[in-house]
Amino acid sequence: MPDRPLKPITLKELAALLELSQSTVSRIVNGEASAHRIAQETQERVLRAAAEHGYRANAVARSLRQKRTYTIGAIVPEISEGYSTAVLSGIEDEVLKEGFFYFVVSHRHRPDLLKGHLHMMLSRSVEGIVAIDTPIEEALPVPLVSVSGHNRREGVINIELDHAQAACLALTHLKSLGHKRIAYIKGQAISSDTNQRWHAITEEAGKLGMAIDAELVVQLESPEPGPGPGFEVTRQLLQRGRSFTAIFAFNDLTATGAIQALREAGLRVPRDVSVVGFDDVLIARTNNPPLTTVHQPLRSMGQTAAETLLSLIRDELPRPYPAVITMNPKLIVRKSTAHPPSAHPTDGTVTRPRGA
Amino acid sequence: MPDRPLKPITLKELAALLELSQSTVSRIVNGEASAHRIAQETQERVLRAAAEHGYRANAVARSLRQKRTYTIGAIVPEISEGYSTAVLSGIEDEVLKEGFFYFVVSHRHRPDLLKGHLHMMLSRSVEGIVAIDTPIEEALPVPLVSVSGHNRREGVINIELDHAQAACLALTHLKSLGHKRIAYIKGQAISSDTNQRWHAITEEAGKLGMAIDAELVVQLESPEPGPGPGFEVTRQLLQRGRSFTAIFAFNDLTATGAIQALREAGLRVPRDVSVVGFDDVLIARTNNPPLTTVHQPLRSMGQTAAETLLSLIRDELPRPYPAVITMNPKLIVRKSTAHPPSAHPTDGTVTRPRGA
DNA sequence: CTAGGAAGAACAATCGATTGCGCCCCCAAA
DNA sequence: TTTGGGGGCGCAATCGATTGTTCTTCCTAG
């Protein structure tokens, strides 16, 4: 009987059973016995009974009293999407380890949902929030850590990739292969990484003495996840008829879309056109061809975000707080990049993309 | 001043401000005013003040009193993985709409984590649990809905794909193309869909009069997500030297791994070998070649799971409860399947895979 | 013989909202 | 002048745990 978990026993009942006060029982089960000089024997008696009856403190009641919920909120654009979930898995690691739980809400790029869900979380007394790829304008009553959100607001800590380094890695790679006419696919305007990344690219391209041809720059439009948008804009790009030997895509999914479009136009990757992705999601490795891409340590970013948030919650983070914590990208060279056709010593058959 | 959300106002404070009792204010903000014959004017006064001060009921306190948390738990093998997250997004849809929140925990196939997290959720008083691809043995104090978990336990409702239909669709497709020697990649033993699926396949193959050659059956070993395991076992399969003209893979990621292995062995897909995937995740469409696959309505399954769980929680589900709710698969024919080489009227060059 | 202190545990307030009852007032009918 | 019945709200318990304070005992040292 006592081991059926179906109707949990409360502290009060347990105390009554033991003929002790709730305070004493509470102190013992919370390991504060010695701080309260409670007899060894009593402790054992209580712990034994607690185990027997499967006593587990009601977290709701505890939260009310302590004004702590040991819960944080995560807000993402879309849960069914690799980027966010990779970060989430890092968050989960950290957070569960510390006895916290987390809520997830996705806003699907709708400001009303964003605001609504945010407030729901707050009225559930989350102790902190991590926003992934989502800028938050409001001032919040709890700490906020932002992953790729580019919230330049007082008190918000941003976890970000070192975009300059990322751009440098990719561009240097392309440059060293001999590419000069490089096309760029910028991210959707709604993605908060878009501007940072683009800025870094122009900056680094400048430093490397690589001119950017405005005719070779396209931007993703459709907010739809997946490779579709990349496919579309690459078609548009090809229609412009401007020649190029490489594409630097906003992310891996876009890159795969681009590759499809190139193929449809009769171009081979990487022989005719090299493609560089971004993120290094799972499929990058298994795409055909495997994608050369800039690896973004998403899981670590999640972990770092969670760690940071937790220390903020505990008020253990030394001040002044950093505004940004940058993480290092890595270039993963696979098979989607090669020398440009003109630089192929033994092969000059296809020298430029054919416009559609 | 009153509009700074930084220190939320409580019911008591608001009541004091209005010189009313907490009961009255509570009733009004909860829309139970008319049931308690409260003056129209008072109602307006209260609502106005509540809005001005941004009053939001503390969900923790409410939960304690009502013994309801409006929270459910979702337990998944791995959060950074397309299958689970597709289901999760369906769950989120349903659940947020109804004012519920959800916790997510992943167990990474570790029984200790599974058990630990499960209990943590319970002591946080979740009102129900949906387990995704995860069998739960324990009896729980709250309703449990299982998605592809194959929990044949009293009181557990399972949301499952109609595997018989799925197998039938895929096999009929292959048969009608003329395939006779079909290889099968079974799922990992840890995946709860594995057995069901395999059982359905043998069953349907029998009905269709298609013999299954045990030499052409391999099973995924490595629990690693992604295409790696599929790649490995396909290599092994090729080494057996037994000829086949099609592969039916356990899932899309496995299929992509298989395709890679086939390519490495000099085989073309679908010209030499056709490949059928399962799930229809995002990349299926953009893979090269785009994957013919059995579409599994993951998001709907999530929605159905959530709907079912919520009505179970509300005790609104008519009895007797169904043990299983099956969902219908759809065959999506793309480019990874074609006639087998021997059936190619105009091309007989490659008649069987070359062993490695 | 008694003050002082340690040991051991109980009391009771508290967290913020919800909710079953009960109370008061006013007006109309008897 | 009662009685009765709404209308309009307030009282106070309650949910389950935590925690500052208080209260006994029992010893021991002076």
B181-227 residue pLDDT tens = 999 999 998 887 898 899 999 999 999 999 999 999 999 998 877 78
Q: What is the rounded CA–CA span in Å between residue A170 and residue A275?
A: 10
How close is the nearest chain A Cα to the Cα of B216, in Å? Answer: 24
Comparing A130-134, A225-229, B258-262, which segment has the lowest mean pLDDT? A225-229
* Nearest residue to A27 via CA among A38, A16, A17: A38
Residues of A with Cβ-Cβ distance to B92 under 8 angstroms: 79, 104-106
First to last CA, chain B: 76
CA dihedral B193, B198, B199, B201 (to 10 degrees): 120
pLDDT (average), residues B27-32: 91
Comparing A113-117, A192-196, B27-31, which segment has the lowest mean pLDDT? A192-196
Residues of B with Cβ-Cβ distance to A283 under 8 angstroms: 227, 256, 283
Residue A349: HSE in the Cβ half-sphere, 13 Å Cα cutoff:
5
Residue A27: CB less than 7 A from any atom in strand D: yes
Cα–Cα distances (Å) from A29 to A11, A50, A53, in that order, read 10, 8, 13
Through-space separation of residue A182 CA and nucleotide D3 C1' in angstroms: 96
Residue B116 pLDDT greater than 70, yes or no: yes
Higher pLDDT, A286 or B25: B25
Higher pLDDT, B193 or B342: B193
Do residues B229 and B250 lie in contact, with contact meaning Cβ atoms separated by under 8 Å?
Answer: no
Comparing A109-113, B63-67, B89-93, B315-319, which segment has the lowest mean pLDDT? B315-319
Phi-psi region of B67 (alpha: psi -120 to 50; beta: other; left: phi over 0): left
Residue B21: CB less than 7 A from any atom in strand D: yes
Closest amino acid to nucleotide D12 (CA–C1'): B23
Cα–Cα distances (Å) from A118 to A344, B61, B70, in that order, read 54, 19, 16
pLDDT (average), residues A265-277: 94
Do residues B220 and B185 lie in contact, with contact meaning Cβ atoms separated by under 8 Å?
Answer: yes
Residue A309 pLDDT greater than 90, yes or no: yes
pLDDT bucket at A350, cuts 50 / 70 / 90: very low
Which residue type, as a one-letter code, is found at position A273? V
List residues, Cβ < 7 Å, touching strand C.
Answer: A 19-24, 36-39, 42, 61, 64-65, 67; B 10-12, 22-23, 26-27, 29-30, 36, 55-58, 61-62, 64-66
DSSP state of B320: S
Nucleotides of strand D under 7 angstroms from a protein beta carbon? 6-20
Q: How much of chain A, in percent, has pLDDT values that exceed 90?
A: 69
Residue A346 CB burial class (10 angstroms; 0-12, 13-18, ≥19):
exposed
Comparing A61-65, A318-322, B102-106, B333-337, which segment has the lowest mean pLDDT? A318-322
Contact yes or no for B256 and A283 at CB 8 A? yes
- Nearest residue on chain A to B78, alpha-carbon basis: A89
Higher pLDDT, A56 or A344: A56
Do residues B71 and B125 lie in contact, with contact meaning Cβ atoms separated by under 8 Å?
Answer: yes
Instruction: Give chain A's length.
Output: 356
Contact yes or no for B64 and A60 at CB 8 A? yes
Contact yes or no for B103 and A101 at CB 8 A? yes
Comparing CB atoms, the residue among A64, A123, A283 nearest residue B283 is A283
Comparing A120-129, B45-54, B78-87, which segment has the lowest mean pLDDT? B78-87
Contact yes or no for B286 and A227 at CB 8 A? yes
Residue A29: CB less than 7 A from any atom in strand D: yes
Comparing CB atoms, the residue among B4, B96, B285 nearest residue A105 is B96
- Nearest residue on chain B to A76, alpha-carbon basis: B89
Through-space separation of residue A314 CA and nucleotide D14 C1' in angstroms: 32
Q: Which two tokens stand for residue B102?
A: 């959800």
Comparing CB atoms, the residue among A89, A139, A283 nearest residue B79 is A89
* Nearest residue to B172 via CA among B198, B207, B212: B207
Comparing CB atoms, the residue among B5, B69, B287 nearest residue A60 is B69
Higher pLDDT, B12 or A343: B12
CB contact set of A313 (below 8 Å; sequence gap of 6+) = A72, A127, A128, A142, A143
The pLDDT of residue B343 is: 53
Nucleotide nearest to A62 in CA–C1' terms:
D17
Closest amino acid to nucleotide D10 (CA–C1'): B21
Through-space separation of residue B48 CA and nucleotide C18 C1' in angstroms: 21
Higher pLDDT, B158 or A39: B158
* Nearest residue to A84 via CA among A285, A328, A228, A298: A298
Nucleotide nearest to B30 in CA–C1' terms:
C18
Cα–Cα distances (Å) from A269 to A247, A282, A291, B85, in that order, read 10, 20, 10, 31
Sheet containing strand A246-248, edge to edge, reads: A217-219, A182-186, A246-248, A274-279, A292-295, A330-332
Residue A325: HSE in the Cβ half-sphere, 13 Å Cα cutoff:
20
The pLDDT of residue A282 is: 77
pLDDT in tens, A161-210: 999 999 999 999 999 999 999 999 999 988 878 988 999 999 999 999 99
First to last CA, chain A: 76
Through-space separation of residue B71 CA and nucleotide D13 C1' in angstroms: 26
The pLDDT of residue B218 is: 95
The pLDDT of residue B228 is: 84
Q: What is the rounded CA–CA span in Å between residue B104 and residue A92?
A: 9
Closest amino acid to nucleotide C6 (CA–C1'): A37
The pLDDT of residue A169 is: 97
Provide the 10 A C-beta neighbour count for residue A122: 19
The pLDDT of residue A240 is: 94
Through-space separation of residue A307 CA and nucleotide C10 C1' in angstroms: 41
The pLDDT of residue A12 is: 92
pTM of the model: 0.85
Residues of A with Cβ-Cβ distance to B256 under 8 angstroms: 283, 286
Closest amino acid to nucleotide D8 (CA–C1'): B38
Q: Mean pLDDT of all residues in chain A?
A: 89
The pLDDT of residue A4 is: 41
Q: What is the rounded CA–CA span in Å between residue A339 and residue A62?
A: 63
The pLDDT of residue A129 is: 96
Contact yes or no for A285 and B122 at CB 8 A? no
Q: What is the rounded CA–CA span in Å between residue A287 and residue B289?
A: 10
* Nearest residue to B106 via CA among B128, B88, B127: B88
Contact yes or no for A86 and B80 at CB 8 A? yes
